[in-house]
């Protein structure tokens, strides 16, 4: 074996073993969210903390830096989009970024985020932002230090966004989100001006839990979630995670007097799961077999949840099946009625309960605020008022208290700054992809009306899933759609929907 070959073998063995550890840690976390008896929590925290330390050591192992250095000029690295080239490029990128962070800062952040989450949970319960404010100040101060350590001084937000959307820059994201906001504010006002009321009372009827679960399993399997390689369970906070190349687990929660949360939540998580299941199994743990970015991951969940699951064609096919499972609640309901109900647009206080259109304004508000905070243009103590001001301005509503306002999300307390925009990037990417897929495949709603989701699934498998992280999100979108990020397909989609809903009245 020549030197390059042996270095490559050492590197790939190292990555494969790290993947074993990470997937084992994921299983511990899944178990914690779904099965763990209450008194098992302390030992579980020790297990997870120890595993996290092992993983961190492996990912910052100086040998990794040496191997990558030796491979930098090798043929294996020549094409950055090949399996080996993407592996070397992405590992090097992450290694460099991690290596810049002083251990002291990493430890300070770990402590601040752990305490921050506890204080946040208390503060939310007590409706007391002032109790959380000093901790939030500390968290943002450490985030500024982190950006400075990464060498990003111009706009520190760049360094933070990059953790979730590698290579994305704040300025173009800001421009896209601003244009999206300018289109959405009047569109939402038009949809909710009261001239065309949308009645969703049919969604508030009786939906027994067992029937919900059976229907969800039927639908998610039909769109492509493979239950031989995945599971559906119950958790307080729905999520989807993988614990190996053939082990993808999603969760949901049921409300027997409301149809939407479990159903659309499950379609959403199944979209994440279908993506994980479409990754190349033989490349598991390597960039070629890993999801591309949080924005691309979210594009897959949003695509199935909204662009497919809230379409008229989808309900032409599935409403008869829904009537089978919920005969008493849906016997008198037409496809048009049901389609309108699941597409009701209504400004509301809580992000996770928001509809397809207003959701993006919830995200834009958070993005604008966290960017102002990180740039010292907004003081933490002024955050609640700034929050309420933006809710009034963009959504026409005022949070009655901090619990339903500035304290509703866990993200900032956990140090997830720069994360929020990836939700809207996901919505934007999903519409770009869907428009492109429709251009290639023809009228997709006709397929859905026949219960045929195969052509769209195959398109996604080839175009998005098989690419893994051989491309970064901007590169992937450029390759697929000719544009890195473009809000117009999403705006067109929402405008058409509003017109259709209003016209159907
Ligand atoms: Zn998601």
Ligand 1 centroid to Cα of residue 286, in Å, is 22
* pLDDT at 453 (0 to 100): 98
Q: What is the pLDDT of residues 407-447, one digit of tens each?
A: 999 999 999 999 999 999 999 999 999 999 999 999 999 99
Residue 237 pLDDT grade (very low, low, confident, very high; cuts 50, 70, 90): confident
Q: What is the mean pLDDT of residues 345-370?
A: 96
H-helix segments, 208-334 = 209-223, 260-278, 294-302, 312-325, 327-330
Ligand 1 centroid to Cα of residue 173, in Å, is 19
Ligand 1 centroid to Cα of residue 125, in Å, is 25
Ligand 1 centroid to Cα of residue 491, in Å, is 20
Q: Compute the mean pLDDT over every residue in the chain, rounded to the nearest whole number.
A: 95
User: Are the CB atoms for 473 and 483 separated by under 8 Å?
Assistant: no
Annotated active-site residue in 29, 83, 165, 269: 269
Residue 10 pLDDT grade (very low, low, confident, very high; cuts 50, 70, 90): very high
Ligand 1 centroid to Cα of residue 237, in Å, is 12
Please give the Cα distance from 494 to 489 (Å, whole number). 9
- Model pTM? 0.96
Q: Which of 164, 166, 111 is nearest to 418 (CA)?
A: 164
Ligand 1 centroid to Cα of residue 275, in Å, is 11
**Residue 363, helix vs strand vs coil:** helix
> Cα–Cα–Cα angle for 196, 197, 199, nearest 5°?
140
Query: What phi and psi values does residue 210 have, to the nearest 5 degrees?
Result: -65, -40
The encoded tokens of residue 424 equal 């809207």
Ligand 1 centroid to Cα of residue 347, in Å, is 20
Residue 505 pLDDT grade (very low, low, confident, very high; cuts 50, 70, 90): low
Ligand 1 centroid to Cα of residue 114, in Å, is 23
Q: What is the CATH number of domain 170-503?
A: 1.10.1370.30
Ligand 1 centroid to Cα of residue 423, in Å, is 7
* pLDDT at 1 (0 to 100): 66
Going from N- to C-terminal start, the domains of the chain cover 3-151, 170-503
Number of other CB atoms surrounding residue 258 within 10 Å: 14
* pLDDT at 504 (0 to 100): 62
Please, how many CA atoms are within 13 Å of residue 108, restricted to the half-sphere of its CB? 15
Look up 242 and say whether it is catalytic. no
Task: Write down the residue that tokens 């390689």 correspond to.
Answer: 229
């Amino acid at each position: 074996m020549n030197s390059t070959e042996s270095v490559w073998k050492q590197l790939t063995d190292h990555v494969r073993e790290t993947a074993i550890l990470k997937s084992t840690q994921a299983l511990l976390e899944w178990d914690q969210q779904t099965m763990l008896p209450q008194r098992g929590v302390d030992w579980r925290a020790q297990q997870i903390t120890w595993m996290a330390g092992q993983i961190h050591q492996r990912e910052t192992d100086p040998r990794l830096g040496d191997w990558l250095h030796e491979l930098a000029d090798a043929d294996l690295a020549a094409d950055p989009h090949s399996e080996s080239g993407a592996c070397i490029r992405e590992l090097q990128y992450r290694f460099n970024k991690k290596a810049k962070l002083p251990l002291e800062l990493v430890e300070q952040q770990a402590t601040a985020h752990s305490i921050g989450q506890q204080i946040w949970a208390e503060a939310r319960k007590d409706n007391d932002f002032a109790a959380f404010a000093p901790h939030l100040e500390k968290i943002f101060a450490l985030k500024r230090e982190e950006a400075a350590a990464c060498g990003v001084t111009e706009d520190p937000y760049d360094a933070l966004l990059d953790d979730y959307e590698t290579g994305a820059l704040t300025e173009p994201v800001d421009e896209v989100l601003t244009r999206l906001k300018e289109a959405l504010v009047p569109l939402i006002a038009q949809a909710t001006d009261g001239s065309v009321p949308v009645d969703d009372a049919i969604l508030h009827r009786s939906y027994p839990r067992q029937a919900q679960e059976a229907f969800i399993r039927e639908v998610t399997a039909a769109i492509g979630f493979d239950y031989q390689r995945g599971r559906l369970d119950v958790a307080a906070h729905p999520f989807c995670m993988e614990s190996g190349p053939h082990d993808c687990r999603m969760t949901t929660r049921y409300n027997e007097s409301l149809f939407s949360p479990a159903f659309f939540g499950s379609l959403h998580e199944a979209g994440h799961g279908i993506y994980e299941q479409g990754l190349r199994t033989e490349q598991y743990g390597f960039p070629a077999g890993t999801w591309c970015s949080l924005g691309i991951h979210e594009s897959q969940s949003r695509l199935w949840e909204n662009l497919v699951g809230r379409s008229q064609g989808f309900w032409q096919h599935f409403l008869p099946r829904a009537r089978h499972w919920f005969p008493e609640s849906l016997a008198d309901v037409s496809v048009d009625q049901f389609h309108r109900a699941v597409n009701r647009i209504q400004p509301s206080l809580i992000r996770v309960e928001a509809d397809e259109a207003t959701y993006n304004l919830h995200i834009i508000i958070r993005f604008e605020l966290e960017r102002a905070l990180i740039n010292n243009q907004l003081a933490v103590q002024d955050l609640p008022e700034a929050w309420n001001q933006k809710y009034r301005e963009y959504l026409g509503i005022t949070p009655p208290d901090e619990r339903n306002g500035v304290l509703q999300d866990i993200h900032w307390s956990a140090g997830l700054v720069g994360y929020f925009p990836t939700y809207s990037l996901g919505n934007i990417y999903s519409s770009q992809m869907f428009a492109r897929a429709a251009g290639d495949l023809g009228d997709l709603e006709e397929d859905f009306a026949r219960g045929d989701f195969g052509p769209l699934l195959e398109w996604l498998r080839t175009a998005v899933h098989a690419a893994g992280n051989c491309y970064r999100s901007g590169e992937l979108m450029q390759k697929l759609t000719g544009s890195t990020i473009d809000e117009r397909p999403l705006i067109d989609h929402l405008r058409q929907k509003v017109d259709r809903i209003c016209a159907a009245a």
